């Protein structure tokens, strides 16, 4: 590592980045794959992925002066989930990365501090910084820079850090020394992530179908969750960690337990807009909005097989202003079944004004065996 690379590496590690790599910019050979991926509709409701896709293949299209990238990985803990019976206690699950402040803010600040340090080493240099906020193929540049390899779970994996890292990039017009040796692939014959994904979103060839991914369904998808996929969500209400939790390269990375990973579903269902904003202010969870989180919580209640959830869902049908939440609450009642759930569904179907909700209530009644 030359002198300038070494100084940048030291500055990045001072900011807490555990992975630091360098690559010279080139046009990534992903245009054909990405074009086909978009044409197949795999972006789902993530329309931003289709806007000016050519900018993603070469950062020099964003700024012709750019020459190199510093790829950074900021580690985060994946606390153990406390031992509990989620179905009896009616508790949901959120992905570990969503604990605490939204990483988009504080990791971006740390990456900007690295860019500022580069400016001290070379005062006339140009930099551009990204943390999951721009048209950048982050994982591709992380691999190019030698920080890890594409795992079968489609995350960047590192033998020392596993996959529990947030990626960041500092692009610069400096001609930095790039990584000369590829990291290598250490997934071997392991198939844990493919075999244990509840929705079978992962496929051979290091591929993912985003529209089946629980993270997509609980965060990016704004409309109704496909009925056939709802039972497979279990109690996940924001994101999913399964393909990382089961990865052998993440063994031993867990920290302490955290109750925040398993919030009370009834408590969430009672949140109004103001309470939601206050509780999740500064959190990544706010991205799904109140209606999205309560939609997901309703599905989890339906998957609980615990009829103690019936009165909670009945209250939702009675007073919830968001049709999408009422619709999923109706589905949940049908899944729980029983006379009490049927009475609630029959009563609400008579007075419900929204057509989509009435449809869900009718389907729920049809599936309720009494």
Residue 84 CB burial class (10 angstroms; 0-12, 13-18, ≥19)? exposed
User: CA–CA separation, 307 vs 156, rounded Å?
Assistant: 41
Helix (H), strand (E) counts: the chain: 15, 10
User: CA–CA separation, 98 vs 10, rounded Å?
Assistant: 28
Is residue 58 part of the annotated active site? The answer reads no
User: CA–CA separation, 312 vs 267, rounded Å?
Assistant: 10
The residues, any chain, with a CB within 8 Å of residue 235's CB and separated by 6 or more, are: 86, 87, 91, 92, 93, 265, 300, 303, 304
3-state SS assignment for residue 210: helix
From 9, 102, 124, 132, active-site residue: 132
User: CA–CA separation, 128 vs 59, rounded Å?
Assistant: 10
Residues 39, 40, 44, CA angle at the centre, nearest 5°? 100
Question: Sign of the CA dihedral 137, 143, 144, 146?
Answer: positive
Residue 19 near residue 147 (C-beta atoms within 8 A): yes
CA distances from 16 to 13, 78, 120, 286 (A): 5, 17, 19, 25
User: CA–CA separation, 296 vs 277, rounded Å?
Assistant: 17
Beta-carbon-side half-sphere exposure of residue 333 (alpha carbons within 13 Å): 33
β-pairing, 202-203 vs 165-172, is unpaired
Residue 233 near residue 217 (C-beta atoms within 8 A): yes
Catalytic (active-site) positions = 132
């Amino acid at each position: 590592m030359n002198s300038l690379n070494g100084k940048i590496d030291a500055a990045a590690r001072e900011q807490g980045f555990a992975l630091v790599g360098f690559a010279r910019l080139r046009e990534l050979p992903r245009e054909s794959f990405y074009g086909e991926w978009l044409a197949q509709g795999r972006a789902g409701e993530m329309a931003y992925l289709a806007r000016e896709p050519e900018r993603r293949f070469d950062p020099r299209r964003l700024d012709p002066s750019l020459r190199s990238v510093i790829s950074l990985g900021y580690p985060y803990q994946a606390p153990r989930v406390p031992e509990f019976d989620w179905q009896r206690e009616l508790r949901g699950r959120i992905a570990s990365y969503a604990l605490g402040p939204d990483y988009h803010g504080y990791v971006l600040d740390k990456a900007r501090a690295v860019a500022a340090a580069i400016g001290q080493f070379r005062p006339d240099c140009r930099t551009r910084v990204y943390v999951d906020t721009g048209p950048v193929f982050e994982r591709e540049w992380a691999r190019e820079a030698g920080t890890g390899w594409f795992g079968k779970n489609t995350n960047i994996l590192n033998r020392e850090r596993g996959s529990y890292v947030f990626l960041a990039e500092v692009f610069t017009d400096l001609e930095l020394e790039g990584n000369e040796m590829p990291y290598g692939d250490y997934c071997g014959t392991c198939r844990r992530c493919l075999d244990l994904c509840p929705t079978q979103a992962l496929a051979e060839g290091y591929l993912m179908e985003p529209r089946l991914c629980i993270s997509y369904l609980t965060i990016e998808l704004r409309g109704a969750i496909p009925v056939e996929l709802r039972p497979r969500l279990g109690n996940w209400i924001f994101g999913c960690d399964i393909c990382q939790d089961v990865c052998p390269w993440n063994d031993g990375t867990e920290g302490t337990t955290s109750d925040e990973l398993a919030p009370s579903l009834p408590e969430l269902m009672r949140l109004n807009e103001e309470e939601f904003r206050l509780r999740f202010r500064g959190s990544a969870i706010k991205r799904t909005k109140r209606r999205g989180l309560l939609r997901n919580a309703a599905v989890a209640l339906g998957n609980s097989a615990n009829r103690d959830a019936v009165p909670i869902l009945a209250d939702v049908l009675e007073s919830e202003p968001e049709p999408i939440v009422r619709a999923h609450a109706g589905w949940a009642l049908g899944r729980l079944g029983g006379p009490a759930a049927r009475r609630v569904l029959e009563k609400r179907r008579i007075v419900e004004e929204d057509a989509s909700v009435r449809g869900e209530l009718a389907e729920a009644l049809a599936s309720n065996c009494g």
